[in-house]
Structure 1
């Protein structure tokens, strides 16, 4: 059987360096998605979203291995974050005003029918409360700027301030989509100062 694919190592879109910003073109990709609002640290909707996403993702992985002969590491958790006023991320950090879409990448060889079957299997025993809110959707971000942030989520504001107000306009670009984060660390097991997170911002010329 072929080696297990680890998308963190194979996808260029998952490549970033700490301390520098990179401009890249991100291809259209498919994700399991679920939406919500509010502070992810205290709002139960956030935990419920992850409790629905991950069972589907693992059922999908096992189905791909057993039925298609293609195994892979479940990709890292990702999130789209937005607010009516984007300064809620860089200035006020008012998490109660945040809206989010949590996501897990779906490999391109998996058909929608297998995703639907994975959702059905995820609800066969202990059904997650928000399972019906999980959907399969394409995301086409195009030209983006991204960097690797090492440290606490609450320390992202300074990096985003430089990205949004220095690097992006300094390269003749403007913000054109939702703030995107990719989590390479499990925040439940890794100390805040060691968390590794890609910070991505779609842009337009």
Structure 2
């Protein structure tokens, strides 16, 4: 049996093809998560956080082989993004950005397995940020979603369309944090070919 792959099992959430905004219903899912603040391009805390996530994710992958659920493909890196001042977020003042970085976990990975994996990874890796990693559940429900192809810095026009055109035209408003799923490895992919899922939980204006 092929290892569980969230990109295959939840194509509507992890393998969309639409580059224009569309509505998707995102079910409750569980993740390993770590929180922080600062510019993702320059802040050492961000790099350490991502390193911690992958260290624990791969530890859980190997542990999963010995469970009834079995092996799984490590899911793409994801991030929830916000700022204390909305203008700082939309204006790209990245040093003040807050983030929660995530990696999706299959349903059979338990909180206890995550804690065990943290201890195992800490013993092997000199990444203190591992101790801050936590189990996290997220149920976004109705969400506007689009596949962006290009540099992360080129997302602004797509997000402007969402917040200044698409939502109003469809009687919707934001109901959660800005969410990105990184399908490409920026270390191996030229900026113009990066593939990123942009997601915004929404609700009807009259709700």
TM-score bin, normalised by smaller chain:
over 0.9
Unaligned runs of 5+ in 1: none
Contact 2:25 2:141 in 1 (8 A): yes
Cα distance in 1, alignment partners of residues 149 and 86 from structure 2: 22
User: Equivalent residue for 1:102?
Assistant: 101
CA distance in 1, matches of 2:115, 2:98: 26
How far did 1:18 drift? 4.2
Matches within 5 A, 1:117-136: 117-136=116-135
Judging changes above 3 Å, is the alpha-carbon distance between structure 1 residues 142 and 69 closer, same or farther for their aligned structure 2 residues? Answer: closer
Query: Where does residue 71 of structure 2 map in the other structure?
Result: 71
8 Å contact 1:89–1:157 — kept in the other structure?
no
Equivalent positions of 1:40-119 (< 5 A) are: 40-68=40-68, 70-90=70-90, 92-119=91-118
- TM superposition score normalised by structure 1: 0.94
CA distance in 1, matches of 2:46, 2:59: 21
Give the Cα separation in 1 of the matches to 2:18 and 2:138.
Answer: 25
CA distance in 1, matches of 2:117, 2:68: 14
Which whole-Å deviations, capped at 9, do the CAs of 1:12-59 have from their partners, x for residues lacking one? 221323431111111111110001111100111100101111110001
After superposition, the C-alpha distances for 1:92-143 in whole angstroms (9 at most, x for unaligned) are: 2111121100000110112221111111111112331211110001111111
Gapped runs of 5+ residues in structure 2? none
Output aligned runs, 1:172-183, within 5 Å.
Answer: 172-183=171-182
Aligned length: 203
The 1-side partners of 2:125 and 2:7 are apart by 30
CA RMSD of aligned residues (A): 1.3
- TM-score in terms of structure 2 length: 0.93
For 1:157 and 1:18, locate their aligned partners in 2 and report how far apart those are by CA, in whole Å.
17
